[in-house]
Structure 1
Amino acid sequence: MPRFGYTLMGEQSGPRELIRYAQAAEDAGFDFEVSSDHYSPWLMSQGHSPYAWTVLGAVAHATSRVELMTYVTCPTTRYHPAVVAQKAATLQILSEGRFVLGVGSGESLNEHVVGEGWPSVDTRQSKLVEAIEIIRELHSGDLVTYDGEYFRVDSARIWDAPDSPVEIGVAVSGDESIAAFAPLADHMIAVEPDAELVEKWSAEHEGESRKIGQIPICWDPDRDAAVKRAHDQFRWFAGGWAVNSELPTPAGFAAASQFVRPEDVADQIACGPDLDELAESVRPFVDAGFTDIALVQIGDEQQDRFLAEAAEPLLERIRALG
């Protein structure tokens, strides 16, 4: 039976609101919660981007049952992997073992801000390989010196290391990334319900692993309002990952999506009050073999009402798919 999660969408909500939503999502019955790790929102109309790790530390104390996950952190540019290893270890202790570190090769939107440029995808993936190796070594609690092509770690130790290593999920998109990361990571993360990707990962990865996906929905009692909100705040979604990883600013995403119509967004994202329709939109991920699927409820303005009125019956319908 797949597990279903709730997305703490930092691009559309402030930090205090995210903590309140995390509590309500746990009460509504979600199995896990994932947090974006952004420096900027996708579009200016979203209007937020608090520091994910501070939020997650507060969420770890505000909740008691749900698993927590970054979806995803780039541990190669804005953060040095040694610092990510320390943050992940601390969060694992604060959450009493409920944390999974989700990592990926990043997007220019969030990583260009430190002024180090934006490398090619091949370089980004090579850097991510080294980053995962460093994080693994540091989570042993041993003294680590690492001298790689991209990163150096000099006599570092995680002094507050968790009793059990933090599990790592990695975002993949094709054969090359699967070949690079399946031997290093515990779990697969992907943004498309691609059954072939799941099969290839399973063939390359030794042992049990989870396949973790995410899908946006836009619940609202008024379908027209839902479509309008999805278009206003989520039309960037239509660009696809090859585009979305390269654009550096919210203004760039606004320009790239200026000709995306509300009906185009409604064709891609289930919108409105029909819980059966919203649940059915999740089916491709279930059918593709994903074990964990996180929902994004688009927009801040209906989060409280979604969690209070729609989340529980929607989860019942989605779980029936499995």
Structure 2
Amino acid sequence: MTEYGYFLACEEFTPTELIDQARRAQEAGFTRLAISDHFHPWNDAQGNSAFVWSMIGALSQTVGLPVTTLVTCPTVRLHPAVTAQAAATSSVLLGGRFALGVGTGEALNEHIHGDASPSFDVRAEMLEEAVEVMRRLFTREVTSHRGRHYTVNNARLYTAPTQPLPIYVSVFGTKAAELAGRIGDGFVTMTSDADLVGAFRENGGAGKKVVGGVKVCWNSNREAAVEAVHRLWPTELLPGELAQVLPTPAHFEQASELVTPEMVAETVTCGDEAEEHVETVRAYVRAGFDEVYVGQIGPDQAIFFDAYRELVLPALRR
């Protein structure tokens, strides 16, 4: 049975707004929360970028829903040992209802120490080593590690997970799906791609979680919804590896000049036709996803939650 969660976008909303959205999500009938982990927003129009680990601590004390990061990069900006400590504490605060979604990262967030952005193959190698380090630390044992990318010396997590802490690996292509199947407890992708699900299942992912996310804009005025998406999230429509390699919000704004309102209207679910929203989410269900997280773009959060509580979620569960 697929579960439906709400996607908290740290790039677009203030910490207070995110907490309010989490409460509204629980009241509307969403059963899980996902939260993004960024140092920068994708563009200046989004205008926010709260520290995800502070947000998870606050969420643990205000709502009763499980939380998953979508996704954290544990390889450059934060050392995997520090990420492991943050994840372990989050798991304890949430009573074991925390999952660590991880990925190879984007230059947008990971360049801030002055590090060069490696190729995908190197980033994937770093992620695999980071996951190995974090899993060892989660056992509470004293850990030393000397690998190609990371060194850990006599480290121990005294506040360690009391229940298994799943690690889900973010996937944008077949090669990454194979990596997720090999090292992850599940995989994450932002498209309802049944072929990627199949590649994951065939490469070690049988029986593991498949997690997806999608952004929509509920608004009674469809043109206003399209405008909001075009202003705030044109980056959703950038092709190929641009999202991984562009280093600053200004570069994303330049690239987003290629994205037209017509492209948004054709690609993103906008407006107040409930069946369109239902079908958007059902595409993930048909592709074999276990969890689907929906995020509302723009300020009309109350209207979105009312509509999903009354129309969309009941239809999905029928």
**1:286-305 Cα deviation digits (max 9, x unpaired):** 22111111111112x11133
Return closer, same or farther for 1:203/1:219 CA change in 2, 3 Å cut-off: same
1:160, 1:276 → 2: CA distance?
A: 46
**1:195-219 Cα deviation digits (max 9, x unpaired):** 1211121122265211001111100
**1:93 CA drift (Å):** 0.6
SS of 2:22 mapped into structure 1: helix
1:261, 1:227 → 2: CA distance?
A: 10
Identify which range, 284-293 or 75-84, moves more after superposition: 284-293
SS of 1:257 mapped into structure 2: helix
Return closer, same or farther for 1:275/1:130 CA change in 2, 3 Å cut-off: same
**1:189-247 Cα deviation digits (max 9, x unpaired):** 11221112111211222652110011111001211111110111111111135111111
2:43, 2:36 → 1: CA distance?
A: 15
2:7, 2:151 → 1: CA distance?
A: 33
Within 5 Å, which residues of 2 pair with 1:151-230? 151-205=150-204, 208-230=207-229
| 1:2 is the counterpart of 2:2 | yes
Identify which range, 149-158 or 215-224, moves more after superposition: 215-224
Question: Which residue number in structure 2 is paired with residue 319 of structure 1?
Answer: 317
Return closer, same or farther for 1:223/1:179 CA change in 2, 3 Å cut-off: closer
Question: Which residue number in structure 2 is paired with residue 133 of structure 1?
Answer: 132
1:219, 1:318 → 2: CA distance?
A: 16
Q: What letter is aligned with 1:24?
A: R
1:289, 1:309 → 2: CA distance?
A: 25
SS of 2:241 mapped into structure 1: helix
Question: Which residue number in structure 2 is paired with residue 113 of structure 1?
Answer: 112
2:216·2:295 contact (CA, 8 Å) conserved in 1? yes
2:181, 2:276 → 1: CA distance?
A: 34
Question: Which residue number in structure 1 is paired with residue 97 of structure 2?
Answer: 98
1:125, 1:14 → 2: CA distance?
A: 31
**1:254 CA drift (Å):** 1.0
TM-score norm. by structure 2 comes to 0.96
Q: What letter is aligned with 1:72?
A: V
Question: Which residue number in structure 1 is paired with residue 60 of structure 2?
Answer: 60
Within 5 Å, which residues of 2 pair with 1:74-93? 74-93=73-92
SS of 1:219 mapped into structure 2: coil
Q: What letter is aligned with 1:31?
A: T
| 1:274 is the counterpart of 2:244 | no
Q: Size of the alignment, in residue pairs? A: 318
Question: Which residue number in structure 1 is paired with residue 287 of structure 2?
Answer: 288
TM-score norm. by structure 1 comes to 0.95
2:34, 2:276 → 1: CA distance?
A: 23
**1:174 CA drift (Å):** 2.9
1:230, 1:134 → 2: CA distance?
A: 39
Question: Which residue number in structure 1 is paired with residue 305 of structure 2?
Answer: 307
2:289, 2:55 → 1: CA distance?
A: 27
Q: What letter is aligned with 2:57?
A: G
1:140·1:165 contact (CA, 8 Å) conserved in 2? no
Question: Which residue number in structure 2 is paired with residue 41 of structure 1?
Answer: 41
**1:273 CA drift (Å):** 1.1
2:164, 2:288 → 1: CA distance?
A: 26
Q: What letter is aligned with 2:277?
A: L
**1:68 CA drift (Å):** 0.3
Return closer, same or farther for 1:145/1:73 CA change in 2, 3 Å cut-off: same
SS of 1:38 mapped into structure 2: coil
Q: What letter is aligned with 1:32?
A: R
2:240, 2:131 → 1: CA distance?
A: 22
1:24·1:308 contact (CA, 8 Å) conserved in 2? no
1:129·1:181 contact (CA, 8 Å) conserved in 2? no
Return closer, same or farther for 1:199/1:310 CA change in 2, 3 Å cut-off: closer
**1:259 CA drift (Å):** 2.9
SS of 1:79 mapped into structure 2: coil
SS of 1:112 mapped into structure 2: helix
Task: Give runs of ≥4 in structure 1 deviating > 6 Å.
Answer: none
Amino-acid identity (%): 38
2:238·2:259 contact (CA, 8 Å) conserved in 1? no
2:39, 2:29 → 1: CA distance?
A: 29
